[in-house]
Amino acid sequence: MNDQRSHSMPVWHGTTIMSVRKNGKVIVAGDGQVSMGQTVMKPNARKVRRLHDGSVIGGFAGATADAFTLFERLEAKLERHNGQLMRAAVELAKDWRTDKYLRNLEAMMIVADKEVTLILTGNGDVLEPVAHPQGTVAAIGSGGNFALAAARALVEYEEDAETLARKAMKVAAEICVYTNDQLVVEELESVN
């Protein structure tokens, strides 16, 4: 029997990106592993970075080149809309839904500023995670559900946003084979 999948290129597998908003801080953390099929291609990729003069932080999961394209587009939207993250994200999502080139990009992003955390999906959606009194958590990527579950379990007990993110990412790295423990963490002051 001829299996067409055996003739195709291996699939690039993701990462884990998470955000924690708690006690006046917002954190975006991401692991460093890049995998192709069953091979770790790079253990220390930087998937979390600052945008718009450092006032926005974001992380990506998915195809690296696609994510860089999205970061560039988001940066341009932030410049055009004076750093207003929600407005820039909505404008990017409109482009993502209507531009044939952007529709083929395979990436997701978590972006945050001092006021809001957003998940930008490959379908052109802009999602704001549900805010909880103890803290708001969000996660994407192959280990995203593991990190999200760990963070939700810890959010009532861990007061420091960065410590919470690091503990949740450690759980994801122990469970998801496409996630490692080489983290990049960025932090901003938060209004909530």
* The pLDDT of residue 39: 87
Find the domain containing 150 and state its range: 17-184
More confident residue, 11 or 175: 175
Q: Catalytic residue positions?
A: 15
Instruction: Assess if residue 192 is contained within a domain.
Output: no
136 a known binding residue? no
More confident residue, 68 or 159: 159
69 a known binding residue? no
Question: What percentage of the chain exceeds 90 in pLDDT?
Answer: 64
Q: What's the pTM?
A: 0.89
Question: What are the tens digits of pLDDT across the range 116-147?
Answer: 999 998 777 899 999 888 999 999 999 999 99
| 54 contacts: CB under 8 Å, gap ≥ 6 | none
Instruction: Assess if residue 12 is contained within a domain.
Output: no
Statement: residue 21 has pLDDT above 60: yes
Instruction: Assess if residue 5 is contained within a domain.
Output: no
Is residue 111 very low, low, confident or very high in pLDDT (cuts 50, 70, 90)? very high
Domain count, the chain: 1
Instruction: Assess if residue 189 is contained within a domain.
Output: no
Instruction: Assess if residue 10 is contained within a domain.
Output: no
Question: What percentage of the chain exceeds 70 in pLDDT?
Answer: 90
* The pLDDT of residue 66: 76
Question: What are the tens digits of pLDDT across the range 56-106?
Answer: 999 998 877 777 888 888 999 999 999 999 999 999 888 877 776 666 667
153 a known binding residue? no
Instruction: Assess if residue 87 is contained within a domain.
Output: yes
Is residue 6 very low, low, confident or very high in pLDDT (cuts 50, 70, 90)? very low
Residue 29: give its domain's CATH number: 3.60.20.10
Instruction: Assess if residue 190 is contained within a domain.
Output: no
Instruction: Assess if residue 164 is contained within a domain.
Output: yes
CB 95 within 8 A of CB 69: no
Statement: residue 189 has pLDDT above 90: yes
